[in-house]
Amino acid sequence: MNKYGLLISILLFLMASSLTSWSEVVEYANGDRYEGSFQDGFREGEGTYSWINGDVYAGRFVRDQPHGQGTFEWSDGRIYQGDFVMGSRQGKGTYSTVQGDIYEGDFNENRMHGEGTYQWSNGDKYSGTYLNGKRHGFGEFVWANGERYEGWFLDDYMSGKGAMFYLDESRYVGNFENNLRSGYGELFSTLGGAFKGFYRNDQPEGYGVRLTIEEEVILEYWVDGGLDKSRALDVKEECKVLHEGRNWFVDAENCIDGFAHGQSAMVDEELRVLVPEAFLVLGRLVEGEILNLSPEDVERFSPIRHIPEEASELLFFVGSEETNEFLVQQEEIQQSWQNAGLKSSSEICPGRNHIDILIHEFADPTSSVNQQVRTQMGIL
């Protein structure tokens, strides 16, 4: 062998000595046990680590930590199979319990996190989003009896907008809080009837509107889950209501010249907007609180976006002491009217805000604000 061949042999020997990789069984002083590959003094490659408490990990190691594909079995019978990142269950995996529950999906830092499906041993099933081990975000929960919920979850509870489909084929669409119907919702029966109103603790609460299978419209008032009072309404061609460009169910005490007049209850044809104690003057609503607006209707009938059919001109009184938020809304409303090709103007009231204007200007028949409003409305 020449001197170059000898030099190469020495270099190869030194390189092999520095990459010390081997397999063996190690019994640790605390009672744990490892059987598998080592490299440079670290658990590296395939191996099995058994803890003294009975937990076992079998799979890939990197620098002493489970990393890559592996299986972790707890002493109580639970099993995880999937991805590990430096000792943590992270990535895609399957988790099962001794009771028979199975989760398959995303993990992050040892918790269910991301998209996944959890199947309980009793037949219940959830598919959707997890956050830090809890159902959080949009998902679907199907009970073993066939009932189903689709919607939003918060901290493991049905909370937010959702739809519940019941065994009798009726369905509820609306808001939930902590697994209970809460807030505005609409309940549809299989026979064609419906109830639209507010819920609290899974029961109707306050005003609601019921459409019977005979297509009768009934205004109801609920207290603590019990029906307190109700009244039937109807659409009467000879008793019209001019409000928001909608058709209304009413029970007006009088009709004058074809218009509803006097005390009445009002419910719109979509059964979403109601005025339980309205006062009408020749079909126009002059007094009464509008209730049970669904969030969609609040958005749709906001003066920023909704312009009545009979609108002609918008006169806006703005106080010099208004908040920035109010001024932004005022500009949005005026812009929406101008975009519709309608005239819009504003007038500044020095030293006032909109509350002051209502109290001190509108209510004072001698003020210029009051006189301008009366003139524009055609009131002498």
Question: Which residue, among 313, 287, 315, has the nearest Cα to 371 in the 3D structure?
Answer: 315
Question: Which residue, among 368, 301, 356, 345, has the nearest Cα to 323 in the 3D structure?
Answer: 356
Flag whether 254 is in a domain.
yes
**Number of domains the chain is built from:** 3
Average pLDDT over residues 324-334: 74
Is pLDDT above 90 for 59?
yes
Comparing 342 with 100, the larger pLDDT belongs to: 100
Flag whether 125 is in a domain.
no
CA–CA gap between residue 148 and residue 139 (Å, rounded)? 11
Read off the pLDDT of residues 225-273 as tens digits, 9 standing for 90 and up.
899 988 888 766 667 888 777 778 888 778 887 888 888 888 877 777 7
Flag whether 36 is in a domain.
no
CA–CA gap between residue 365 and residue 347 (Å, rounded)? 18
Task: List all residues 6 or more positions away from 159 whose beta carbon is below 8 Å from its beta carbon.
Answer: 152, 153, 176, 177, 178, 179
Q: Residue 278 belongs to what domain range?
A: 234-292
Phi, psi (deg, nearest 5) at residue 131 = -135, 115
Phi, psi (deg, nearest 5) at residue 28 = -90, 160
- Cα–Cα distances in Å, from 252 out to 230, 263, 266, 267, 305? 15, 6, 9, 12, 30
- Partnered with residue 244 across adjacent β-strands are none
239 and 225: one domain?
A: no
Please state, as a whole number, how many other Cβ atoms lie within 10 Å of the Cβ of residue 88.
Answer: 16
> What is the structure's pLDDT at 257?
79
Q: How far is CA 254 from the centre of its chain?
A: 44
Question: Which residue, among 63, 95, 91, has the nearest Cα to 79 in the 3D structure?
Answer: 95
| Structural Rg of the chain based on CA atoms | 35
Average pLDDT over residues 345-367: 78
336 and 373: one domain?
A: yes
On whether the pTM is more than 0.85, the answer is no
306 and 378: one domain?
A: yes
CB burial readout 50-60, b (16+ within 10 A) else e = beeeeeebbbb
Q: How many residues does the chain have?
A: 380
Flag whether 14 is in a domain.
no
351 and 312: one domain?
A: yes
Read off the pLDDT of residues 170-179 as tens digits, 9 standing for 90 and up.
999 999 999 9
Range name among 15-19, 208-212, 307-311 with the lowest pLDDT average: 15-19
- Secondary structure class of 173 (helix, strand, coil): strand
Average pLDDT, the chain: 84
- Secondary structure class of 216 (helix, strand, coil): coil
**Predicted confidence band of residue 4 (pLDDT cuts 50, 70, 90):** low
> What is the structure's pLDDT at 29?
95
Average pLDDT over residues 50-73: 97
> What is the structure's pLDDT at 305?
57
251 and 316: one domain?
A: no
363 and 332: one domain?
A: yes
Read off the pLDDT of residues 88-142 as tens digits, 9 standing for 90 and up.
999 999 999 999 999 999 999 999 999 999 999 999 999 999 999 999 999 999 9
Per DSSP, the residues of 270-305 read TS--EEEEEEEETTEEEE---B---HHHHHHTSTTT
> What is the structure's pLDDT at 30?
96
